[in-house]
Structure 1
Amino acid sequence: MPRDRHRPRRMLLVTEGARALSSPDLTLARGVEALGTACTLSDGVEEGGAAAWFRLCRRHDTVVLTHYNETSLFLARQMFLARLAGCVVVRWWVGSDVSTALREPKTAASVRRLDRAVDVNIAVAPHLVDELAQVGVQAVYVPSIADLSALESPMPDRLPRGVLVYLPAARRDFYGRAAVERAAAAHRDLPFIVVGDDAHALAHHPNVESLGWVGDMEALWPRIGAVLRLTEHDGLPRMVLEALARGREAIYAWPLDGCRWVRTDAEVDAALAAFKASTAPNAEGREVARRIAADAALLWLDTVAGARTARRPVDRLAALAGLIRCQRAYKAAARVAPVPS
C-alpha cells in the first residue's frame, strides 16, 4: 500500500540526558525505519545555538521530544524554532515522565509552557492520556512500539521456570525492589533472573541470578517463563509486550489484558503459585500483544501525519509569537545577553 504523503520521512529524535541502548526512542526508530522513515538522533544540538538547531531541523520534517523532568524556557524556544523550520513537533510520553509531571508542580508548569510549541502529544497507554489531562495536556493514545517479531514464531510447548525482572540500579525502589525480594525469598524453587542492576542488590539470594546490563535479550528468552514487573507507575512496557508476544506469563502491577494483575504481596504469591502449577504457554497474552501493538509503528506515523494535515497558516504566526515570548522570558530570567545564534 502506498505510504501516505503526509507521514514523516525524516524524524529527529530529541531525548533528555544519556541515551541507553534500550531507550524508547531507539525502539521507536527501529519500528518506523522498518516502514521507510529515516531517524536521526539530535546528539544535543538543541542545547546549543539557534542557527545550528534551525539548520538541523530544516533537514527533517518531524521533531520527537522525550523528556522526563522539568523543561527549560530555552528548550521551549527551540521547539518553537523547530516549528518555524517546518517540522511537526511531537512530544512522546512513555510513563515516568507523566508521573513526574503529576508529582512536581514546577514540572507540570513547564510541561504546559512547552505544550504551546507541540503539535501533538502521543502517550503509550490510555491511563497516561487521562493523567496528562490532569496537568492540562491533551494527548492521543498510540501503543508502545516493541519488537514483536516473536509473533511470527511458534510458542514453546512448555514454559521454562525462569522469572525475569527488570530492576535498574538507579531506580530499584521505583521498580519494586522490596516486593521482588520478598517474592524471591518466598519462592526459592523458582529462578529469578534480574537484568539492569549493575550493583547486583539481590544477588545474595541463592535463587537470584543478577546479570546487570544485558544488551541482547534474545539469548535469555529460552530460560524465561514469566516476567515480574512491580513498578510504582508505568506506561505500556515493551518488556511486557515482548513477553506476551512470546507466549510468556506476565505478572504485572498494572491492569492489562493477558497479564496476571497483582497489587499486594499475597497476589504476587498467588500469581507465582499459579505460574508454577501450569507450564502451558500464554496464548491469550500473545493475541493481546498482536491486537494492541502489532501495528503500533504504522499508527504512530499516521498520527503524526494527522497532526501535519491539521495545521493552519495561522499556526506559523503562532509559532513565531511563541518564539518571541520564550526569547524575552529567557533573557529576563537569565539576565544575560541574548541567546547565541
Structure 2
Amino acid sequence: MSGTIQSPQFRNYKLYMLFWRASLSSRPEGQVMSPATASVQRKPNVLFIGEKPLPDSPTARLASILRTQGFQTNLETNSCSLLTWIKYVNAADAMILITYRCFGFRRMAKILFGVLVGVPLIRRWAGTDVMNCLENSSDRWFARSLNCLVTLNIAAAPHLCEELASIGINSVFLPSSPDLSKILPTSCPRLAGRDILVYMPVHKASLFNELMLNHVFRVNRDIGFIVVGCEDGLRFSEHDNVRVFGWIDDMKEIYPQVGCLLRVSLHDGLPRMVLESLLQCKYVIYSKPMPGCWLAGTFEEIQSCIELYRSVEIINREGIDAVKRILGDGLEERLAETIRQVIQAKTLKVHKQ
C-alpha cells in the first residue's frame, strides 16, 4: 500500500530477492555446463565467508592452499557491499564458511543468497567453534539451524568429528596443513634454543590456563618463556623470565630461540603451532594425546615434563614422523579433491535438472 512504512529488515529482504532474480539471468553459463566442459574453460572459484581474513588465519591458509591447487579464491569482508557480493557469488563454484560464533542478519542473508542461486556451502570447523556449540545453547541451536544449508562439514581433528556428531552434525576429518615455507630446516642434532614457547591470547586467558601458566613461570625461573599471541604486553611483567609478544604473522624469528612448546588448553582442535613445532623437531608439552608430544594436563604433569625437557640435549627426532602419521600423504591434494567433488556433485545435479 502506498505510504506504508517498511522496516529495514523487510527492505533488505526485498533487495536480496531482487538481486537474486537479477543474478539468475546473469549467472555464467559455465555453472551449468558438464564438469568436463567447465573445467576446460576456467578454474574452479571458491568464496570464503565468515572469519576475518588475517594474514595467518585459517581462512588465509586455506585460500593459499587452494590457489596452489589450481583454484581461484575470493575473501568476503564485513565491508563487502551487496553488489560486490553478487559479483562474488556469480563467479563462485563453492562457498567455505569459517565462523566461531552466531552471526547477524547481513551475513546470513549473504549465505542464503549464495545457496539459493545454487552455490554449495562447505563449513570448516577448527576447534573453538565446536567448543562454543558444546557449551552454549544459542551457538548450538544456530549451528544446527545453519546446517540445513551446508553441503559438507569438514573438521580439523578426529575428536571434533565425534563432538559434532554428539549435537547432530555429521562431518569428515580433514586436518589443517601447516605452511612448509615457514618451517626452518633442522640440521643440527642438538637443541639450539632452550626457551619454551607458549601461546596465550588474552581474550582466551581461561581457555589457555593463564593461572596455571603464571605458576609454571614462577616455579621455573631458570627457564626462559616466550609468550606469543598476547595482546597485553604487560600481562606477565612480574616474571623476569618471560618475554611477551603480540600476534606474530611469521614465527621464523621465534622458533630458533625455543626448544619446546607448552600448550595446555581446555579444548583444542589440531593446532598449527603444534604441527609446526614437531616438524622443526621441537619438544611439545600438550594437554591432548598426540603422537610425538608429552601429555600433560595438570601442573604436576607439566612440571614433570619440564624436568624431562631440562635433561635432554638432542632434538625431538620423532616430531617429523609424528606429523606424517597425523596428516597422511597428499593432504593439500586431498583437500582440493574434496572440494572439487562437492562442486562436481552440484554441477551434475543442476545439469540433470
* TM-score (ref. length: structure 2): 0.80
> 2:207 is aligned with what amino acid?
F
User: Which residue number in structure 2 is paired with residue 275 of structure 1?
Assistant: 309
Number of the residue aligned with 1:64: 96
**Structure 2 CA distance, aligned partners of 1:278 and 1:128?**
33
- Provide structure 1 residue ranges, at least 5 long, that are not aligned to the other structure: 318-341
Give the Cα–Cα distance (whole angstroms) in 1 for the partners of residues 293 and 79 of structure 2: 41
Mapping of residues 98-109 of structure 1, within 5 Å:
98-109=130-141
Q: What is the CA distance between 1:74 and its match in structure 2?
A: 5.3
CA contact (8 A) 1:8 1:61 kept: no
Is 1:153 aligned to residue 188 of structure 2? no
Shifted more, 110-119 versus 153-162: the winner is 153-162
Q: Secondary structure at the match of 2:129?
A: helix
Q: 1:32/1:292 Cα in 2 relative to 1: closer, same or farther (>3 Å)? A: farther
Q: Which moved more, 1:51-60 or 1:194-203?
A: 51-60
Structure-2 residue corresponding to 1:128: 160
Q: Is the 8 A contact 1:249 1:282 kept in 2?
A: yes
Conservation of the 8 A alpha-carbon contact between 1:71 and 1:111: no
- Taking structure 1 as reference, are residues 15 and 66 closer, same or farther at Cα in structure 2, changes over 3 Å only? same
2:285 — aligned with what? 251
CA–CA distance in structure 1, aligned partners of residues 291 and 224 of structure 2: 25
Percent identity over paired residues: 29
Match of 1:265 in 2: 299
SS in 2 for 1:119: strand
Deviations 1:36-86 (A, max 9, x none): 32322112367x54x543331111212111111124465444323223444
Q: Do the aligned residues in 2 keep the contact of 1:257 with 1:288 (CA within 8 Å)?
A: yes
Any conservation in 1 of the 2:74–2:88 contact (CA below 8 Å)?
no
Provide closer, same or farther for how the CA distance between residues 207 and 194 of structure 1 changes in structure 2, counting only shifts above 3 A: same
Give 2:121's match in structure 1, choosing from 75, 84, 89.
Answer: 89
Calculate the aligned-residue CA RMSD, in Å: 2.7
Counterpart position of 2:330: 295
Give the 3 Å change call, closer, same or farther, for CA 115–155 of structure 1 in structure 2. farther
Deviates more, 1:127-136 or 1:80-89: 80-89
Tell me what 2:243 maps to: 209
In terms of mean alpha carbon deviation, does 306-315 or 162-171 score higher? Answer: 306-315
Per the alignment, residue 195 of structure 2 pairs with 162
Higher alpha-carbon Rg? 2
Counterpart of 1:116 (choices 144, 148, 159) is 148
> What is the identity, as a one-letter code, of the residue corresponding to 1:234?
D
Higher relative contact order by CA 8 Å / sep ≥ 6: 1 or 2? 1
Deviations 1:226-282 (A, max 9, x none): 111111111000000000110111111111111111111111001111111102211
Mapped partners of 2:211, 2:184: distance in 1: 36
- Shift of the 21–297 alpha-carbon distance from structure 1 to 2, 3 Å rule, reads same
CA contact (8 A) 1:151 1:290 kept: no
Equivalent residue letter for 1:107:
D
Moved more, 280-289 or 7-16: 7-16
Q: Among residues 59, 67, 79, which one is paired with 1:33 in the alignment?
A: 67
Q: Indicate the SS of the match to 1:180.
A: helix
1:322 — aligned with what?
none
For 2:129, give the aligned amino acid.
D
